[in-house]
């Protein structure tokens, strides 16, 4: 059974700090990695995608991927109260040619003013 593991949190950081969210995955052949943000009662929305080892930056967000360690992380700089949400890590499962997404259970982030 392919798995994606995340700390459930809650992770609490003060406003303006860096929030660091981590994710590990079990499928060594996974090729695509995604971070979604989900506000309470809403559907998930994509915030970052990463496909190769290293860092990818988009505004205040940086995704980091290390395929050798099967580890992907998300850094949120200058955290804002509006960043308070659950962050879901998703990894493609190479089920034949289907490439389905497997989701972690999410990490709840709370940014305190």
Partner 1 sequence: DGGITQSPKYLFRKEGQNVTLSCEQNLNHDAMYWYRQDPGQGLRLIYYSQIVNDFQKGDIAEGYSVSREKKESFPLTVTSAQKNPTAFYLCARLKGQGEWAFFGQGTRLTVV
- To partner 1, the closest distance from the beta carbon of 35 in angstroms equals 10
Residue 87: name the closest of 6, 3, 26 by CA.
6
- To partner 1, the closest distance from the beta carbon of 31 in angstroms equals 6
Question: Which residues of the shown chain bind partner 1 in the complex (CB under 8 A)?
Answer: 4, 8, 31-32, 34, 42-46, 49, 88, 90, 92, 97-106
- To partner 1, the closest distance from the beta carbon of 61 in angstroms equals 15
């Amino acid at each position: 059974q392919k798995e994606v593991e995340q700390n459930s949190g809650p992770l609490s950081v003060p406003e303006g700090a860096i929030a660091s969210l981590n994710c590990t995955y079990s499928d060594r052949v996974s090729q695509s990695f995604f971070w979604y943000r989900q506000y309470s009662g809403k559907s998930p929305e994509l915030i970052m995608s990463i496909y190769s080892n290293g860092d990818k930056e988009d505004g205040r967000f940086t995704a980091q991927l290390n395929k050798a360690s099967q580890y992907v992380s998300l850094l949120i700089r200058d955290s804002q109260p509006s960043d308070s949400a659950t962050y879901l890590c998703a990894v493609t499962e190479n089920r034949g040619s289907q490439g389905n997404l497997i989701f972690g259970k999410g990490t709840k982030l709370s940014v305190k003013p």
